[in-house]
Amino acid sequence: MVKSVLIFSQKERFSAETLKNLIFIILHINFLKMKLASAIIEENKKQIIEDWVIKVRKELTAPSKTEDPVLRDHIPLLLDDIVSIMQRYEKFEITSEITNFEGLLDNSIGHGRHRSSSSGYDIEQVLKEYIILHRILTSTLRAHSAFTTEVADSLKFTIENSMLYAAVSFQKSLVEIRQKLMGVLVHDVRNPISAAYLAVSMIDQEDEPERFGKLKIMLKNSIKRSMDLIEGFLESFTVGAGEGITLHFEEGDLLEFIKSITSEASAIYSNEVVLDCPEEPITGVFDVAMIRRVLENIVSNAVKYGDRGAPITIKAENNPENVVISIHNEGNPIPEHKQKEIFKFLNTSNGTGPKKLKSWGMGLTLVKAVAEAHGGYLILQSNKETGTVFKLVIAKFANKPGKVKTSVIFDYDSTHLESF
């Protein structure tokens, strides 16, 4: 009896050890399969990306408006992450977001945000990009006999998580863009309302007809601009991916608007506002209302952050191909480390000027976007010796009459920033 029990115990011990070894062998085989799959993806990455670009251009509508470098975007990074996750299988970790997907989630979030600034995209097209990538990876691995159940599960879980985080990021980014565009419009509407209020407060029953007529025109124009801005505010609720504020290009004379801005600024602000401009008209195809908003924003910031007693100078240069509009103010310069930050949406600062104002002005984002939409650019020069100058360079005939949507993404490095 004792002998039989001993034999049974030895058999039981042998079976447990055998089972343990078998499990180890199976896991090691799966690890080798994962290694093989990751190596195949790595070796064929260039072809995978090329196939993906061809298929998304064929099956989706948005990529037709997107250049190849922009379209590829985060795809190489996502492939690198998939390879990395498969290689981590060596540790036999249980698949989880915390242990295996931290880097991938960051890249998926970045991909979603990027697509929110790419024209024509919606959530459906963002998700289809991942579905197409999944199909191409599956096809590639099958062609190399490396598509096992374990590889399929790992790939499926990775792609599904990428889709989830990219979609959430895309939607949140669109909401953020709309909120910021509304913030810019609310910021800008204060200028015409202030001008209208000033015109009303200056009206006197005993005014001469000529003075009364000027104030009436000023009031009427200010109310009209306020209504246009409110219309833009309502339009911002429907902004789609890659879209910004709508510009309305028309052929006209820009000089009259520059003179009007100078006149209103002189009436509203305590600073002296000096205009230096040519006598001849400045004709071209512009969105004069948007340029007016741009100049009002810059003048407003010049008053806020410049010396109260120093003059503000507006200078217009009429060149054959472009117009250069400069606005200069004396006072504390914009710190060098802030000179790029002030062009970002909703950026704030504690301020270094005597008035300790917090906001640098959301409208400066609009300034740069409008300059680029006119085929131009913005120059910022700020130092203690000469003060601060914003130069708006605008091409006269870069656009045809009609409506154009500005982009919501701004390449800060393309701004011509100069510090002396």
Tens digit of each residue's pLDDT, the chain (420 residues): 444 444 445 555 556 566 555 555 555 566 677 888 889 999 999 999 999 999 999 998 877 777 778 788 788 888 888 888 877 755 444 444 444 455 557 888 888 888 887 777 888 899 999 999 999 999 999 999 889 888 888 888 888 888 998 999 888 888 777 777 666 666 667 667 776 666 667 666 666 777 667 667 767 777 776 666 666 555 555 555 555 667 789 999 999 889 988 888 887 788 899 999 988 899 999 988 888 888 888 888 888 888 888 899 999 999 999 999 999 999 888 887 777 766 654 344 444 433 333 343 445 667 777 888 899 998 888 888 889 999 999 999 999 998 776 665 433 333 333 322
CA angle (414 as vertex; 302, 274 as ends), nearest 5 = 25
In a domain, 407, yes or no: yes
Q: Using a cut of 0.75, tell me whether the model's pTM lies above it.
A: no
Say yes or no: 260 and 379 in one domain. yes
Say yes or no: 52 and 160 in one domain. yes
In a domain, 12, yes or no: no
Q: In this structure, what are the phi and psi dihedrals at residue 158, rounded to the nearest 5 degrees? A: -65, -50
CATH of the domain at 344: 3.30.565.10
CA dist., res. 293 & res. 29, Å (int): 67
Closest CA relative to residue 154, chosen from 79, 86, 83: 86
Say yes or no: 259 and 399 in one domain. yes
- Domain of residue 99 covers 27-177
In a domain, 367, yes or no: yes
In a domain, 225, yes or no: no
Closest CA relative to residue 365, chosen from 182, 215, 194: 182
Do residues 73 and 170 touch, judged by C-beta distance below 8 A? no
Please identify which residue in the block is written with the tokens 């093989």: 36
In a domain, 1, yes or no: no
Say yes or no: 311 and 166 in one domain. no
Overall domain count for the chain:
2
CA dist., res. 310 & res. 329, Å (int): 7
In a domain, 208, yes or no: no
DSSP 86: H
Q: How far apart are the first and last CA of the chain?
A: 99
Say yes or no: 171 and 251 in one domain. no
Instruction: Give all strands (DSSP E) within 103-245, no chain letters.
Output: none
Cβ atoms within 10 A of the Cβ of 299, count?
25
Helix intervals (H) in 60-100: 68-72, 75-87, 97-100
Indicate the residue among 177, 201, 236 that finishes a domain: 177
In a domain, 229, yes or no: no
In a domain, 13, yes or no: no
Q: What is the pLDDT of residue 44?
A: 94
Indicate the residue among 177, 205, 223 that finishes a domain: 177
